[in-house]
Structure 1
Amino acid sequence: MNLKDLWLAIVGKLLEEFERAQIITWFKNTAVLSFEDGVLNVGLPLPFFLNWHITHFSKITLEAAQKVDPKIKKITYQVDIALGEADSRVIDLLKHFPDKKPRKLPNKNEKRSEEGIISKMFNPKYTLENFITSPENRLAHAACQNVAKYPAENYNPLFIYGGVGLGKTHLLQATGNEIMRNDPSNFIVYTTTEGFVNEVVDAIQARNMNHIRNKYRKVTVLIIDDIQFIANKDRTQEEFFHTFNSLYESGKQIIISSDRPPHELALLNERLVSRFQSGMIVDVQMPDYETRLAILQYKCQEAQVFINQEVLEFIAFNVTSSVRALEGILKQSIAKYELEHTAPTVKSVAKMMKQTQKEVKMIGFVVQDPAPRSAVTIDSLIDSV
């Protein structure tokens, strides 16, 4: 068995046991570089992939490899930037492992409202594949994968909660994208709670509640973001309660997000709290340092820009409030680079943080070998670099 066939067999074993989308995403443009004395050397296209494989895939890949060839005792990884679709060492995974999941085509005679058209509601950049998982959000991600594959079968309602900027909207949008991709005949409505409240107010003023009822109670999937804003709005709560019941009893999927768990939602009707607690409740938290670094590396890859690893590590080490803030600092760094044609440095990013972060006295971080050196404040870090 040559190296290419060996890797093909190993990836095939992984696909037998793990989610296809995850394996295809992380094993694309990879290859076996050598196999000597029981050591399988795997090439990866980017440093980001290297970190992710070592952290998340090394154990399961070795187990799969040993099922294919018991002579494999160890797997090592290295970055080979030459790896890509045009490289003869790389396997076309989509060709060898096509998605055999049946796609339900929409009925040509079926009339569908424009609310059901995916482009009207969902941003295509949000997918379950590009959501970077960590122990802090893995359960929420897995629940969304299950709902996308089996709407209204296992987790209904699905209630996702967590702080601002931690990925709830990404998960909601990605799940909607995936549900529609799996079955284009689905009639999905995605809305914010603010949008729902405004629709209820408009319907009351127009004395036409039937319009909003007809819209929401005929959907196959309802996705509503930031349900906490329904608190203290009695008429809206009443309308949502009846909408929820109608959809649930009809076997329709309901996905809800909030900044806190159901039992902590103040000024919310107990009947609604009870309904929310009847399904699957998952939380998303701020990811750990390694995952924050992986997110930054992925975003750099996505934007096709190179930023020094030391700078990315500094951002990941310091920005711990939200993923949104993490990406915000990175976007500012990229913008500064594009406008001024100067590569971001630890010092320039530290100055940027001082201007944008509420908390100024943050621990600085300068990468050194073998250990990081800390600076008490951003000011002292700026002085020390």
Structure 2
Amino acid sequence: MQPTPTANHVGLWSKVLAEMELSISGANFKTWFKDTYIDKQEDGTVYLAVPNPFVKTWLLDKFHKTILRSLRNFDENIRAIEYFVTKDDNKKKAEQAPQKQVAPTKELPLADFYINKDDNLNPRYTFENLVVGSFNELAYAASQAIIKKPGIVYNPLLIYGDTGRGKTHLIQAVGNHIKATNKNKKVFYLTSEKFALDYISSVHDPQKINSFKEKYRKYDVLIMDDIQFLAGKEKSQEELFHLFNNLYDNNKQIIFSSDKHPNYIPNLENRLRSRFAAGMIVDIAAPDQESRAAIVRAKTIHHNLNLSPEIIDYIATSVDSNIRELEGTMNSIICQAELRAKDLNISDIKNIIKGSAKPKKAVSVLDVVKIVAGFYNIEEDSLCKNCLL
């Protein structure tokens, strides 16, 4: 039976946690500092209890100096930190696991996974399960500013980046947070394709077109995904322009996402580009190896999956295309671990990745020529007159 932390230990660690919460993102704070506490303090050493080996490794590698500095701010006698995994927590989880499997009458929280038809928001997209790293920290910071003052700062906000980088997760997290903290604000999420289809279905009926115009103007926060699909749709762009002006003039928050910067979306009206530029345009880059490793660790913690640090680094290095593919690979690994009812080794992981990850495609010279010619709208032959392919 582990000793109960004293009131002094609880108070000291509460002060440290308060400082840490101010210095890092809320998602990272909850991922790495939840269920941690000071177990004891002896001879200038603080013994910090953590829930699992992954948190121990991450705190030691990424936050050790910051934690030690914060501890010393409150107690100059502290010289070192020892991290250890709490065995009681692991035992408790093991004892509880069979009970979850044999409870057929227990009702699952299915409501937590249904998309609300009133606002189209997916409840799974929250800031709590969003991993923040160097690849998305600017977009995350902008979203945090918005949830504090919706419609006032960074309006509109446009987040762009290649597919699978977490744009939809982030913009819906904004909607879910505002919905939860501002009950009087109406939030609505849709794709640009749905917007265009709604317009097309109403254009031939005067009553429907008026209903269409009013439908989206009643919301306090409008979130539109994948605006690149409006390229070339002149009438839909015109309706979006008028809707934008109405919402903006009434201090309603507008959030967009796109797979590229609006300046590089072909056949997009300049007046829309200028409206986007009036707010905040920020990109989400490809996640680096460290951020991918953090995503993998967060998944293992959430599903109570035991993977060694070497395996986590291997996954993060091998699946480097985008977050969506990384999460798909992790889902396969989690499924295999549950089916086999045992910890997976590096050989198992390699076979799973080989079977689930998309093979990397080599880029040929002809591919480069085709892309360059298409970008500059010139003939491919004009690039190859004096070269051998």
Which TM class, normalised by the smaller chain length? 0.7 to 0.9
CA distance in 2, matches of 1:65, 1:191: 46
Q: 1:30 to 1:357 in 2, by over 3 A?
A: closer
CA distance in 2, matches of 1:176, 1:35: 43
**Corresponding position of 1:371:** none
RMSD: 2.9
Amino acid at match of 1:324: R
CA distance in 1, matches of 2:347, 2:131: 27
User: Residues 120-269 of structure 1 correspond to what in structure 2 (within 5 A)?
Assistant: 120-207=119-206, 208-269=208-269
CA distance in 2, matches of 1:347, 1:255: 44
CA distance in 2, matches of 1:17, 1:55: 17
**Corresponding position of 1:278:** 278
How many residue pairs get aligned? The number is 334
Q: 1:75 to 1:341 in 2, by over 3 A?
A: closer
CA distance in 2, matches of 1:330, 1:163: 20
Report the TM-score, using the length of structure 2 for normalisation: 0.77
CA distance in 1, matches of 2:221, 2:197: 20
**Corresponding position of 2:9:** 3
**Corresponding position of 2:108:** none
Amino acid at match of 2:34: K
Q: For the Cα contact (< 8 Å) 1:45–1:82, is it kept in 2?
A: no
Q: For the Cα contact (< 8 Å) 1:121–1:190, is it kept in 2?
A: yes
User: Residues 52-91 of structure 1 correspond to what in structure 2 (within 5 A)?
Assistant: 52-83=58-89
CA distance in 2, matches of 1:58, 1:261: 38
CA distance in 2, matches of 1:342, 1:69: 44
TM-superposed CA distance for 1:309, in Å, is 4.3
Percentage of identical aligned residues: 38
**Corresponding position of 2:111:** none
User: Residues 264-343 of structure 1 correspond to what in structure 2 (within 5 A)?
Assistant: 264-341=264-341, 343=343
CA distance in 2, matches of 1:68, 1:237: 58
TM-superposed CA distance for 1:291, in Å, is 2.1
TM-superposed CA distance for 1:39, in Å, is 3.2
CA distance in 2, matches of 1:19, 1:352: 32
Amino acid at match of 1:46: N
1:257-298 per-residue CA deviation (whole Å, 9 max, x = no partner) reads: 111112222211111111111111222122222221221122
Q: 1:354 to 1:12 in 2, by over 3 A?
A: closer
**Does residue 27 of structure 1 match 2:10?**
no
CA distance in 2, matches of 1:117, 1:358: 32
1:62-118 per-residue CA deviation (whole Å, 9 max, x = no partner) reads: 33322222333444433334358x99xxxxxxxxxxxxxxxxxxxxxxxxxxxx968
Q: Which structure: greater helix fraction?
A: 2
CA distance in 1, matches of 2:22, 2:171: 27
Amino acid at match of 2:281: I
Q: 1:120 to 1:241 in 2, by over 3 A?
A: closer
1:113-167 per-residue CA deviation (whole Å, 9 max, x = no partner) reads: xxx9687522222211221111111111121122122211211111111111111
Matched residue of 1:29: which SS? coil
Query: Gaps (5+ residues) in structure 2?
Result: 1-6, 94-114, 363-389
Amino acid at match of 1:336: Q
Q: 1:16 to 1:286 in 2, by over 3 A?
A: closer
Q: For the Cα contact (< 8 Å) 2:160–2:284, is it kept in 1?
A: yes
Report the TM-score, using the length of structure 1 for normalisation: 0.78
Q: For the Cα contact (< 8 Å) 2:27–2:130, is it kept in 1?
A: no
CA distance in 2, matches of 1:308, 1:238: 54
Q: 1:13 to 1:333 in 2, by over 3 A?
A: closer
| Structure with the greater alpha carbon radius of gyration | 2
Q: 1:139 to 1:16 in 2, by over 3 A?
A: closer
Amino acid at match of 2:134: P
Amino acid at match of 2:253: Q
Amino acid at match of 1:291: S
CA distance in 2, matches of 1:13, 1:305: 30
**Corresponding position of 1:92:** none
Matched residue of 1:2: which SS? helix
**Does residue 42 of structure 1 match 2:48?**
yes
Q: For the Cα contact (< 8 Å) 1:193–1:225, is it kept in 2?
A: yes
CA distance in 2, matches of 1:125, 1:48: 23
Amino acid at match of 1:169: T
TM-superposed CA distance for 1:205, in Å, is 3.9
